[in-house]
């Protein structure tokens, strides 16, 4: 029997980030959740032209040196420069232009007087305060010069990176692609969701649940399949999927029964390990490699599948995506006692108390599998040497919302 940490480290160590790929930088939404493979450097100066930081009047500072509230300086207004004005304009000494925030500064001007320091005139303006040269001006290249780094390598692209990404003037960006995940449920008893199960049959809900988890973790789901309980069928379908997926996740067929199709297909093949892990739930686990595709063979109980996905599949697949392996955990205090099996690291389904940092075990209608899974809000991590989880104890928990 492996400890939880031993097995988690083993599956994480077995994978490497996917090779980077160059993609269009303009598809900002499509890039969300991807990791940059090299530093993004600006191709352009930013700002791209010297412009006004205020709504006001572009002037030569020397022209208004004596301006004051009791002795305003009047200047003729040559015209308006709105944002987006593409003309190349000049300021003649002794005149001014009315200018808007972000509009290009006319050549010859060296300051902007904000409108609040003037009478707002459109033919002639009275300026009531002197300003220094450089006032309210954003100079070309003052934020970034061409070649400056905009985002370091290894940046997980989020909405806040979009302005930098789109303003840098690059057409393509090198990123680690989104890992492609194929899901396979095993079991002769399974029917497709939406079908009426006959005697002895059940709806396959594990496959869609694992697909939903993979989607929420930011991976690309490329297939959701069901296979029967023969080793031949499992081998055939998994070999086919390995050509189109970076990760295959199966559920069922790894325990100790007489018909365990993952074991029938791969035990003794040299490319698979079937192990027992000192954890609850999720003790029987399989991990293999098919033509370079990582295969996670998870136990079939829905709770075991969900836990195994979050603590083994998600971390390893995040490594493929160039990310830190671990999902976020938060600290919480225990509000109600529960027990944990000796020698096994428990992932207990818990709900948050109102303040969000206190947890209690799920009970009541949560005692059956579907209700207990649907009603739980987090997995509390109980160390293997703990058998009684006491009120007030501090634990780390994995929230089941916001997995990206």
Q: Rule CB under 8 A: which of 163-182 touch a second copy? A: 163-167, 169, 171
Does the protein bind a second copy through residue 1 (CB under 8 A)?
A: no
The residues that bridge with 249 in the sheet, in sequence order, are 183, 296
Q: Applying CB under 8 A, which part among 3-11, 257-265, 279-287, 339-347 lies near a second copy?
A: 257-265
Does the protein bind a second copy through residue 352 (CB under 8 A)?
A: no
The tokens of 213 are what? Answer: 């988890």
* Residue 35: Cβ-neighbour burial (10 angstroms; 0-12, 13-18, 19+): buried
Does the protein bind a second copy through residue 256 (CB under 8 A)?
A: yes
Binding mask 29-58 for a second copy (x = CB under 8 A): x--x-------------xxxx-x---x---
* Residue 195: Cβ-neighbour burial (10 angstroms; 0-12, 13-18, 19+): exposed
Does the protein bind a second copy through residue 262 (CB under 8 A)?
A: no
Of 110, 229, 246, 273, the residue at the interface with a second copy (CB under 8 A) is: 229
Of 66, 70, 196, 268, the residue at the interface with a second copy (CB under 8 A) is: 196
Of 198, 292, 364, 392, the residue at the interface with a second copy (CB under 8 A) is: 198
Does the protein bind a second copy through residue 343 (CB under 8 A)?
A: no
Which of 27, 23, 47 shows the shortest CA–CA distance to 36? 23
Q: How far is the CB of 214 from a second copy (least distance, A)?
A: 9
Binding mask 265-284 for a second copy (x = CB under 8 A): --------------------
Of 103, 182, 278, 398, the residue at the interface with a second copy (CB under 8 A) is: 103
Of 208, 231, 325, 341, the residue at the interface with a second copy (CB under 8 A) is: 208
Name residues contacting a second copy, limited to 107-126 (CB under 8 A): 115
Does the protein bind a second copy through residue 85 (CB under 8 A)?
A: yes
Does the protein bind a second copy through residue 60 (CB under 8 A)?
A: no
Q: Applying CB under 8 A, which part among 60-68, 75-83, 240-248, 311-319 lies near a second copy?
A: 75-83
Does the protein bind a second copy through residue 212 (CB under 8 A)?
A: yes
Does the protein bind a second copy through residue 400 (CB under 8 A)?
A: yes
Q: How far is the CB of 62 from a second copy (least distance, A)?
A: 25
Of 211, 265, 332, 397, the residue at the interface with a second copy (CB under 8 A) is: 211
Does the protein bind a second copy through residue 364 (CB under 8 A)?
A: no
Of 133, 374, 390, 391, the residue at the interface with a second copy (CB under 8 A) is: 374
Q: How far is the CB of 317 from a second copy (least distance, A)?
A: 15
Does the protein bind a second copy through residue 146 (CB under 8 A)?
A: no
d(CA 34, CA 334): 36
- CB nearer to a second copy: pick between 85 and 336: 85
Does the protein bind a second copy through residue 341 (CB under 8 A)?
A: no
d(CA 392, CA 213): 31
Does the protein bind a second copy through residue 66 (CB under 8 A)?
A: no
Q: How far is the CB of 182 from a second copy (least distance, A)?
A: 14
Of 160, 291, 392, 394, the residue at the interface with a second copy (CB under 8 A) is: 160
Does the protein bind a second copy through residue 371 (CB under 8 A)?
A: yes
Which of 33, 78, 5, 17 shows the shortest CA–CA distance to 403? 33
């Amino acid at each position: 029997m492996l400890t939880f940490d031993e097995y988690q480290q083993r599956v994480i160590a077995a994978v490497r980030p996917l090779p980077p790929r160059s993609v269009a930088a303009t598809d900002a939404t499509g890039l969300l959740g991807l990791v940059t493979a090299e530093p993004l450097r600006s191709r352009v100066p930013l700002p791209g032209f010297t412009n006004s930081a205020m709504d006001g009047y572009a002037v030569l500072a020397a022209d208004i040196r004596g301006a004051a509230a009791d002795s305003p300086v009047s200047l003729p207004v040559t015209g308006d420069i709105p944002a987006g004005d593409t003309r190349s304009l000049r300021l003649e000494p002794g005149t001014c232009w009315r200018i808007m925030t972000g509009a290009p500064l006319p050549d010859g001007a060296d300051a902007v007087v904000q409108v609040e320091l003037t009478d707002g005139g459109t033919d002639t303006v009275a300026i009531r305060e002197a300003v220094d040269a450089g006032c309210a001006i954003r100079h070309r290249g003052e934020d970034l010069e061409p070649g400056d780094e905009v985002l370091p390598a290894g940046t997980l692209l989020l909405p806040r990176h979009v302005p930098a990404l789109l303003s840098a003037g690059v057409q393509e960006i090198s990123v680690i692609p989104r890992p492609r995940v194929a899901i396979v449920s095993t079991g002769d008893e399974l029917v497709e969701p939406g079908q009426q199960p006959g005697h002895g049959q059940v709806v396959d809900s594990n496959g869609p649940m694992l697909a939903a988890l993979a989607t929420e973790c930011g991976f690309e789901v490329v297939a959701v399949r069901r296979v029967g309980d023969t080793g031949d069928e499992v081998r055939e379908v998994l070999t086919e999927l390995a050509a189109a997926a970076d990760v295959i996740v199966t559920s069922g067929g790894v325990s100790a029964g007489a018909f365990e199709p993952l074991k029938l297909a791969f035990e003794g093949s040299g490319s698979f390990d079937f192990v027992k892990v000192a954890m609850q739930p999720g003790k029987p686990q399989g991990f293999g490699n098919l033509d370079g595709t990582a295969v996670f063979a998870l136990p079939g109980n829905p709770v075991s599948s969900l836990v195994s996905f979050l603590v083994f599949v998600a971390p390893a697949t995040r490594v493929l995506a160039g990310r830190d392996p671990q999902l976020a955990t938060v600290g919480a205090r225990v509000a109600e006692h529960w027990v944990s099996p000796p020698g096994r690291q428990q992932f207990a389904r818990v709900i948050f108390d109102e303040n969000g940092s206190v947890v209690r075990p799920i009970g009541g209608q949560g005692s059956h599998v579907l209700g207990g899974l649907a009603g739980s809000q987090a997995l509390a991590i109980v160390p293997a040497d703990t058998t009684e989880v006491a009120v007030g104890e501090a634990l780390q928990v994995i929230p089941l919302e916001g997995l990206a």
